[in-house]
Chain A
């Protein structure tokens, strides 16, 4: 068994994250204006407003997406919003359904009245445009195969004009499609996205095409602070900060080592 430098780097990261997670120390985080904006927007929605929640992500991003989605769903249920889940990516279907059901259970929300999960539709552009005309025609039945009209929450919903907006939980560019194609129907778009997507969506936030965005583990932690419920975001923040410091330290060490070697060679 031959260990190389990278193995020691990985071992250091494992140890660091393991110790910080086991320590259970919570960081006191200031809330960023973007996260506050999302909170305020949801707070301003009247009780009983219908919010579409689209799970537009793959299973691989679940560790980062789950704390964001859970914090936003908790706020939604707590604020008595009626949530309609769906997925534009097949892998988001089962994850979205599980997350909605688990969170609904915490608030004694009832399926069919307080929340519904419609399931997956392929061809996202067609699905978004089609829902703008008729949600019922796009999803004649829910994820569990129950007819649209048998669900009390869905019966009065015709199209986007009957919903407060869509919350896209995404790890890729799907939120862009909600803004672009849903924008034709004046659909308000909120987003919970992975940190990797922040630079993609910032211009849309600045232009007002997106109403609010919560991003990454940090965004989840901030949101958990706002709704006063500790979750995966807050638990992971010390580990996240330590890991970043570790990476910065490695970058500095790498550069120092490179310049020392170059000087010796000269």
Chain B
């Protein structure tokens, strides 16, 4: 067994001790995970972003215009002191402005228009029979929208529609929760497989 497998196996067992109760071994493994993750992100950001995209082109290749993003980045550190706080507002303004400019049309097109288009489907199949799934989608969209319409009291026919909307929502939440349980089980099974196969070497 190599050292990496041994460390991974011991740390997996350390994390699993939390299932009994909170304890120092679990806390040590958790702190180690956080520390290593942050350290790794810092190193990779420094080497693959700051060095590769900023310092090397600026200092070696002489791309002087890269001083602008460098200055904007340094201005962000102004937030650490009251007197220099205003400096950070410039790069934040640029980030928010450009971010919104890029995101708004994309969100409208991809999340709203394309999704709405996909909802509008022929309700009858080519053979002349009603398309059940298209009808369910239409009913689900309309009744769920009724539920989220709060400017009118949920009474009468509108109330019934809103109530049907809540059923669709409950089915969605149930499905999502079921998938979530499935996902967490898969993670646990993956770790168990690692422990049994690589760490304890009980299976081939």
Contacts and interface: CB of A to CB of B under 8 A. Distances in A.
A binds B: yes
A17 B182 contact: no
Interface string A209-237: 10000001110000000000000100110
B45 interface: yes
By secondary structure, the B interface counts as helix
A236 B115 contact: no
Nearest to A137: B53
B124 interface: no
B147 interface: no
A132 to B, nearest CB: 12
B44 A120 contact: yes
A21 B189 contact: yes
Nearest to A138: B53
Secondary structure type dominating chain A contacts: helix
B186 A90 contact: no
Contacts of B118: 203, 206-208
Interface string A65-90: 01100000000000000000000001
Nearest to B133: A206
A62 B188 CA distance: 11
Nearest to B38: A90
Given A64-B190, A125-B102, 14 more contacts: A17-B188, A93-B44, A121-B48, A121-B49, A143-B48, A180-B110, A194-B183, A203-B118, A216-B179, A216-B182, A216-B183, A236-B189, A239-B192, A244-B181
Interface of B: 19-20, 37, 40-41, 44-45, 48-49, 52-53, 57, 99, 102-103, 106-107, 109-111, 114-115, 117-118, 172, 175-176, 179-194, 196, 202-204
Interface of A: 7, 10, 13-14, 17-18, 21-22, 24, 59-64, 66-67, 90-91, 93-94, 119-122, 125, 129, 140-141, 143, 179-181, 183-184, 194-199, 203, 206-209, 216-218, 232, 235-236, 239-240, 243-244, 247
20 contacts: A7-B20, A17-B188, A21-B192, A21-B196, A21-B203, A67-B190, A90-B45, A91-B40, A122-B45, A141-B52, A180-B106, A180-B107, A197-B179, A197-B183, A199-B172, A199-B175, A206-B118, A217-B186, A240-B182, A244-B185
